Structure 1
Amino acid sequence: MIILILFAFLSGIITILSPCILPMLPVILTGSIGNRRRPYGIITGFIISFVVFTLSLTFLVDFLNVPTNTLRTVAYISLILFGLIMLTPKLKETFEILVSLINRGGDHKKRDGFSGGFFIGLTLGIIWTPCVGPIMASVITLAATQNVNLDSVFIILSYSIGTALPMLAVIYGGKAIITKVPFLTRNPEKLERFFGIIMIIVGISIAFNLDRQFQNRILNLFPNYGSGLTAFENSDIVQNALGNNLEDSGDFRTSKEPEKGKLGYYGLAPEPLLGLKGSVVIVDFWTYSCVNCVRTIPYLRSWYENYKGLGLEIVGVHTPEFVFERDKNNVDKAVKDLGITWPVIQDNDYSIWNSYNNRYWPAKYFIDINGVVRYFHFGEGDYETSEKVIRALLIEAGVEIDNKPTNMLEEENQSNTPEIYLGYSRSRGFKSVEKILADKSRFYSLVSNLENGMWSLSGNWLITEEYIIPQDSGDLVLNFFSKDLYIVIEPEGTSGFIEVYLNNEKVQEIRPTQSRLYKLLELDNSGSNTLRLRVDGP
């Protein structure tokens, strides 16, 4: 747990850099005016609010039977009221009296101090929707399924404190700028009114979801802004700690990878989607406030447009990160704004999420025509690999693809080696002293001087209609011209392994445990090379 608390703290610190937070920066900067206690009121209110509502909001909404948007509505109304108070002397005076009563007759000017900042911090904690990595995602999953443990409380508290530190730095940075501008120091009332107007604008923008539109426009202008901020959470040390934490919760299977044959579109609802059998399907777990998810949508859209007519289907599974994302109207609007044309299922109770052992936003599962998960990818990036998987699964289903890869058009000369099938029904480029003996094992001998796209075998192999099987140990040699190289492996046991050699130098060893696509090589540039796979065991 100590590891997760530490990394949650670090994740909280870098949250301020994410595009999810940009619309909230003006609210934070209001802490720059007022006395020296106001910033501490804001961060204290924020920490309390964010921790309490992140861990209990789902329970409160269900228990009180109120609309999921209720607290968000309260928050933006509060921001507008705070703005009006800063603009209107009469309202300001009334609010000061109320605060002084709360403070039991304390300083009549507490409105500018800790208490006034505390109320703003409470509001900020409700509308704070950070870009989360696996750590926060696991905590939110437990909270959404009302399965919170003590570890979750400490993790979310650590994250909140980490977030509060750069928030405090922003506030004091604003104070430093104000003190260096004589006009601002001489006109504090005008400055307060200015921030009041800003507060009202932010409140109204949240009311009409303009903050989301602003975020999407920023991402369109700067697609890579904020990407990779939580990449450090994908380290083995964090993943192992996450697995232990979820096991302690009692209700989650924690295998990092899906189990072959037990997952697919069969867990999806409603019933009509069972008609997807026979199609290659991408199941995309996302949520509309997650900037990492939003950044992947253009790629999904391009795949859908390019391959839908060839048998590809995409199913979006919208699993809410925050309670307000459970509202169907909000999801419908986000789907329209983001240009999503494939079916989207609301997974408000996390039933589909849990059936996939998932704990990432975004996460994509690639399913073959038999309903088996063959490949998965968590987070952003690696779009080229994902598209290669789509094409491989479609070709495996008997589809002839003439379309160019949508995300590799600018790299069309990067690979001059066609996709290669090893089974005799669609095999090409095979060279050997011996001819293929279909569906029977035999010894094959390597042929030298292979040209681009040609491959050869050494040892005892069984070549079937769709794939090849080593009978003991053996070699596969391929001459290729490409930058990256992949292979689909279906292991028959757990003892086998494959040594990968590039131009006679060993680069890695693979011990396959699942039937999926494996990356063999990732080179800096395309070129003519020789691959050797030394296979030990089936």
Structure 2
Amino acid sequence: MLLIIIAFAGGVFTVLSPCILPVVPFVFARSDKPFATGRLPFLLGLAGTFALVTGLGTAGLSGAAQFSEYGRWIALALFTVFGVSLLFPESTANLSRPLSDLAERFVSRSQNDGATRRIGSAISLGAATGLLWAPCAGPILGLILTSAALHGATWQTAVALVAYAGGAACSLAVVSGLGKRSLDMLKRSFGFGEGLRRAMGALVLLAVGAISLGVDTRILAYIPSGSTTVIEARLVSLVETRKLAGKGPQAARMMRVSMDAALPVQGHLPSLDGAATWLNSTPLSTDALRGKVIVINFWTYSCINCLRTLPYLKTWAQRYRDDGLVVIGVHTPEFGFEHDTGNVKRALADLNIHYPVAIDNDYTIWRAFNNQYWPAFYIADAQGRIRYHHFGEGDYSEAEDALRQLLAENGRRMRGDGPQPPVQATGAQAAANPTDVGSGETYVGYREAQGFASPQRVKPDTETAYTLPAQLPLNNWALAGQWNIGAESAVPGALNGRIAYRFHARDLHLVLGPAAQGKPVRFRITVDGASPGEAHGADVTSEGAGVVTSARLYQLVRQPGPVHDRTFEIEFLDPGVHVFSFTFG
């Protein structure tokens, strides 16, 4: 229920986001209509169509992206007719009749035939606006879409989308009401009625032209949306706090406990029977692990946050193996290539992981723990009771203190109570620089992409030519060359496809996959137009050269000096590479 309320609130706050600007002209153009037969049906059509189209996309239905793209062009055609009818009133009867007739087929006949036509036209125009509206992928909408991606399309996802769209419709209703008051005042004071009608028509046609040419996308790339993002992030934190509170009496405060006191019992260790297979071990069960202290770590091998926790897990597994500690990795994939057990096996070898790993491709163990995070730690005592957990990176010394305490409770004589030797980590597994990270994880696939700044609008699942903008704002990215942008990744259709990203962080990583049949793909990177030199990452040379040989995370930039805004660019010298997401540190 809390998610539904917050989704509605997130929709309301979209009125403060720059991404609402492209549809405002269409809303204003209906401001002079009666609320019941004009503005309300329009807003209902907008909310319903947005929820429907977005829901089809999250459900992963074949053709959903194409349906959305074709619907967008139909919507632009409808608004062209609408704008012309406002600009040239004498053509209204001829232009509006087909629209009204079409709408009337979907609206039940009533005694007031004129009202039926007006309502039908309003719903049709609202539906068209819903096809054109692309809200900023902020924290709240991202939470809804991520939940659908992880757990599949459910009634909760559907209701949350409807609530989000309903909240946006409510805020737009306020905008429309203010617009009506303003128009009425101008008409009474200056007699601008006919002139205002024509101005609205011109504004609608201008908006249609801007959207069809992608001008709106280019303009929005320069308008910050940080204020609404902060508000949404605070609302999302309420959901996360409620989830934590449901896991145990101490979960809501992230288990920042004093190790001088007994660790509280948060629940019993769920079953591990849902694993598709086990690597580095025979299948393990909860019952068979009784008498051992257990660390359960949810991870996926291309996640940078997960990779940076591995040095600690490997150290603990080796340091306390003889004291009765068992570390278990539960590999729950995010991207499609991570479902391939062969890829995971290669990752374990590359990452030097020897402790047991459960392959949780169906999210069975994930759901048994009611987990929501990569990475996540759960530490259970010898009786199979969860006594500590932590989400995300950090607090490693606290976690080690917890497992040492549980080993001591199990009768082990721990060697020394002081600080343990520091854990060594290199490459992508080295700790991030959290004090100066101004860029966040960015997906390239259209399902969760944001910050795309190429002048051309994204054409899902269709090979299209893209270009770089003249100026790239911070935390925006763009493509150059022929690219096919899919739901999860983008693939260049020819040689020399390029991606540019303006970022602020010490490290830049990119999740990449090779071409078909694992064919390697060569690439070259630059930072501010030059070879990276000393700022090169572990997977490239100082000249910026590298090769994609397997599907994984590649560290491309690690700056040794002060962190400033930089423009990163990567050029692929061979076709067929799969580009998934950027991460920073």
- When normalised by structure 1's length, the TM-score is 0.50
